[in-house]
Every structure is written in C-alpha cells, then in structure tokens.
Amino acid sequence: MPHTQATRYFALIPAAGVGARMGAGSPKQYLKIGGKPMLRHTLDAFQSSDLIAHTFVVVSQDDPYIDQVAPHHGVTVLRCGGATRMESVRNGLAALASTLSNGDWVLVHDAARPGLDAALIEKLILETGDHPVGGLLGLPVVDTVKRCIEGEAVGTVPRNGLWLAQTPQMFRYQLLRQALSAAPDPRAITDDASAVEALGLTPKLVEGHPRNLKVTLPDDIRIAELYLAVSQPELV
C-alpha cells in the first residue's frame, strides 16, 4: 500500500503573492469565486481529504486578509512568506522543521488553483505511491505547439512527451528542503518539481484534470467558476 499508518501527508500552500497580472485591488488568492475567496476553495479541498494530516498556508507577515479566510481548525497560518513562490515554500518548510519528519510527504499547492478536490488529492497520493522521488499532477499537451518570434509562428514543436505541470506536487520533506536550498536562483524555480529535477531526479507525472487550472488573468475566474459549478469529475 502506498500509505501506511506511519506515512503522513501534509499540505503546504504558498499564498504570499500579490497577483500583479490580475490587476485587482487585493491579492488574487482572496478574490471571490462562486461567492467564496479563491484561497478558501483551496483550503477546503485539503480539509475534505481524509489523507491529509494537516494544512499549512504561508502568507506575508503583514497579510490583513488571512484571518478572515482560513478555517479555525485543521489549518495553521505561517507568516513567513518571501518575495517569490520558492522563497515562501522554503521559508514554510524551515518553519516546520520541528513539526515534520524527514520522511513525511509534503503536497505543495498553488493558492490560485481553486478547482482542486479530494479525488485529485487521493489520485496523486495513490498513483505516486512509494515512488523514490515523488510526483506531481499534470496534463499531457494535446494542442499543436508553435514557436513564436515577434508574433509570428516560426516552427512547430513536437508535443510528444510534453506535459503542463499542475499542483499539488508531492515530495518528502527532506528532499524538498534539499532541492530548494540547492536552487541558485529563486526566480528561475517556478515549481517545486523543477528544483527536484535540478538534482538529477525524475518525479512521477500523474494525470490531473482541466478543472485544476491556475487562475492568472481575469478571464480565468469565469472558467474556474464554470468548473466549480458542475459536479465532481469522474477520475479514472
């Protein structure tokens, strides 16, 4: 079995970003989707999973919104967010040094992916199993990919073997800390898997779902609302 009594899974959500591309008056993770703050959707997804022992959310030290958004039980707020996503994750892991064991699994998830649900969390954990590196959700590329220079298509990139990374991305606590500590440029690490890959390791890819999209631009909010309005997808 991929999870035993001794195996623990924790969620870590970096939520210290300002969401500049959204052009909103507050950080995008607090914008409402379907009447509920985006971050609350994410927190509720982990709260709904029986496999998650506890959820930690990393925010900036002076975040004025989190206390009204985070549930009072099952979620711990860490006010140690950094200037980049990688720094927030690294700071959060450091803050948990006395709480987590080296072999505990950490599921890092983007605050701006409100379409996550318990079924996707379970799928990632079960299909990653005891993989020696870890795993992440993703989607195989199905569209034709063009290389663009100055607004013109200059070539077609073979899509064979190309995936779009999603989160959660799941690694053991010790490995994740090691990978992020070894990364030389925090701004070059856009997800946790890339830091692990830089060590020469190969995480497992687990097929996710389009509903788990990242809300980046204003139009993405409507798409997320449409996914959240429909029933849970059937996962195979």
Spatial CA neighbour of 121 closest among 106, 131, 132:
106
Four-CA torsion 30, 222, 135, 123, nearest 10 degrees: 110
- The pLDDT, as a whole number, for residue 189 is 84
167: Cβ–Cβ under 8 A, 6 or more apart, which residues?
A: 108, 109, 110, 113, 116, 136, 137, 191, 212
Please name the amino acid found at residue 228. L
Token pair in block for residue 50 = 């029986």
Tens-digit pLDDT string for the chain (236 aa): 355 557 999 999 999 976 444 445 578 899 999 889 999 999 999 999 999 999 999 999 999 999 999 998 999 999 999 988 999 999 999 999 999 999 999 999 999 999 999 999 999 999 999 999 999 999 999 999 999 999 999 999 999 999 999 999 999 999 999 999 998 777 778 899 999 999 999 999 999 999 999 998 888 888 888 888 875 444 44
Please report where in the chains the tokens 């983007």 appear, as a residue. Answer: 110
- The pLDDT, as a whole number, for residue 18 is 66
pTM: 0.90
- The pLDDT, as a whole number, for residue 235 is 44
Q: Is it true that the peptide bond before 168 is cis, omega within 30 degrees of 0?
A: yes
What is the CATH class of 9-229? alpha beta
Token pair in block for residue 58 = 């990393």
- The pLDDT, as a whole number, for residue 236 is 41
- The pLDDT, as a whole number, for residue 21 is 46
- The pLDDT, as a whole number, for residue 191 is 94
Four-CA torsion 188, 191, 194, 195, nearest 10 degrees: 80
